Amino acid sequence: MDDVRPFRIAVPDAALTDLRARLAATRWPERETVPDWSQGVPLEYLRELCAYWGETYDWRAREAALNAFPQFTTTIDELDLHFYHVRSRHPAALPLLLTHGWPGSVAEFAKVLGPLAEDFHVVVPSLPGFGFSGKPTAPGWGVQRIADAWCALMSRLGYHRFVAHGGDWGAIITSRMGEVHADRLLGIHITMPLVDPEPGDADSDDPRVVDALAASRHYERTDSAYARQQATKPQTLGYGLTDSPAGQAAWILEKFREWTDGDGHPENAIDRDAMLDTITIYWVTASAASAARIYWESFHRFPRLPVAAPTAIAAFPKEILRVTPEWAARRYNVVRWTDMPRGGHFAALEQPQLLVDDLRAAARAWR
């Protein structure tokens, strides 16, 4: 394994001191004029959470937990990539590649890494420009290039054929591997398949179709402004988020609330410290702009080709974009479909056991 270097997260004390000072000095806007989240993250909640972040949240303890699993960096296509590589005690275990999305990080897999390593050799890379991976200095790191880099990473680790899982951009990248690198994949497991509805679908009275179309309309009308900003002007956005930890927190917290199965509050779905783990990683790596650029590189710019790799889909009821099994079959080689009883967009954070169980069940057919 040439050019694979051990890595440990070690945020400088000065960075944490600066974070606390900035949180204490936050210049707050006036409160929202509505009694809910319809204008964004409520002032009272954000102030309370930022006070907790600056005064109570223990990054050093969280950092130690994240460092409990083996981490590495390697250079692929002139970019340093950070990744976890947790080997199973079973030498013949299947290799499993997990890919996060935005606003995600490798930390979202913290609860599933140990359980999955009982059955798999688990590899979890940080996307280019995210977390502890390098930040591209020139255009070109879109979905296709990342899919190619992931296959190169797995080859470097000695895995010619493997299983891949992803949600959000991770699902898109995993699907892309299933399109163009199907020979490398024993199977893929995704939580957010992308399939465009057809004209006749709007006339259907099938409850699944009605729900899927309603979810798509809701996303486009009230929940997609962040994506349009990141897809068009990520640099402009980056100045504010890189300078203000409260701003960075709000930008991510909104999605933890909107995209989870939490009955209106993010902490009903995800532990507060787990949310702050990801927010802190974005902050200490100053990766607001570099992470947002995946939208600029790829949003509406990748073809949705047939996915030849055997595909398992875990359908969580509060996923952002939902499809029916019939829609999924238009694009994917669907061999397994699981209707999950609960959960939303951040499967590994919200419902880690459901995700682990479904991945194990899907992989049994691919072994």
User: What CATH number should be reported for the domain holding residue 124?
Assistant: 3.40.50.1820
Please state, in angstroms and rounded to a whole number, the distance separating the CA atoms of residues 76 and 133: 11
Per-residue pLDDT of the chain (367 residues; tens, 9 = 90+): 569 999 999 999 999 999 999 999 999 999 999 999 999 999 999 999 999 999 999 999 999 999 999 999 999 999 999 999 999 999 999 999 999 999 999 999 999 999 999 999 999 999 999 999 999 999 999 999 999 999 999 999 999 999 999 999 999 999 999 999 999 999 999 999 999 888 888 888 899 999 999 999 999 999 999 999 999 999 999 999 999 999 999 999 999 999 999 999 999 999 999 999 999 999 999 999 999 999 999 998 877 899 999 999 999 999 999 999 999 999 999 999 999 999 999 999 999 999 999 999 999 999 8
Please state, in angstroms and rounded to a whole number, the distance separating the CA atoms of residues 27 and 46: 12
Q: What is the largest CA-CA distance in the chain?
A: 59
Please give the pLDDT value at position 1.
Answer: 52
Closest C-alpha among 123, 34, 57, 126 to residue 86: 123
Provide the residue range defining the domain that includes 51. Answer: 4-364
From the list 57, 159, 295, 332, the catalytic residue is 295
Confirm whether 121 is a catalytic residue. no
From the list 119, 168, 277, 358, the catalytic residue is 168
Closest C-alpha among 338, 356, 334, 339 to residue 347: 356
Confirm whether 57 is a catalytic residue. no
Is the backbone peptide bond immediately before 197 cis, with ω within 30 degrees of 0? no
- Beta bridge partners, 316, equal none
Please give the pLDDT value at position 2.
Answer: 64
Please state, in angstroms and rounded to a whole number, the distance separating the CA atoms of residues 315 and 341: 9
In this structure, the chain runs to a length of 367
For the chain, the domain total comes to 1
Three-class secondary structure of residue 315 per DSSP: strand
Within 10 A of 200 (CB to CB), how many other CB atoms are there? 8
Please give the pLDDT value at position 161.
Answer: 97
Confirm whether 90 is a catalytic residue. no
